[in-house]
Amino acid sequence: IHCHTPAIDASGIVKSVMDELADYFQGTKRLPAKCRISLACCLNMCGAVHCSDISILGVHRKPPLIEHERLLNVCEVPTTIASCPTAAIRPYNFENEEGKKIKSVQVNNERC
């Protein structure tokens, strides 16, 4: 995965693909040549999917849920906002239970 702000959790997809291709990695079955498989997390299609033999595109089924308390610890807010191809993510000041304002983001579900 090549993404600063992944739009999907790739672990489930990777596990499914690896389960299907396990025989090829363990040497039980062989391919005539090397096979490159890439996973893109959004429609920007980064991660060398343009030059792969098999490309998988992860697509949202629902808008992402935001964990305001955790957001600043796991990603940069300006980068997250800038990386959205539909401009559905915007800045938001969240007030926690203690009354402290936290910089966060808000998702416009109609645009997502």
Is 3 contained in some domain? no
Number of domains in the chain: 2
- 40 plus 73 within the same structural domain: no
Whether 5 has a pLDDT exceeding 60, the answer reads: no
| 24 within a domain of the structure (yes/no) | yes
Name the β-bridge partners of 102.
Answer: 94
Q: Answer whether residue 15 is part of any domain.
A: yes
Predicted pLDDT at 8? 67
pLDDT averaged over every residue in the chain: 82
Which domain does 44 fall in, by range? Answer: 11-57
Same domain, 53 and 15: yes
Listed in order, strand segments (DSSP E) in 22-73 are 37-40, 54-57
- What is the chain's alpha carbon radius of gyration, rounded to the nearest angstrom? 18
Task: Average the pLDDT over 7-15 and give the result.
Answer: 76
pLDDT at residue 4 greater than cutoff 60: no
Neighbour count for residue 70 (Cβ, 10 Å): 11
Residue where a domain terminates, one of 37, 57, 77: 57
Q: By the 8 A CB rule, do 57 and 17 touch?
A: no
List pLDDT tens digits, range 26-38: 889 998 998 888 8
The kind and range of the H/E element at 106 are strand 101-107
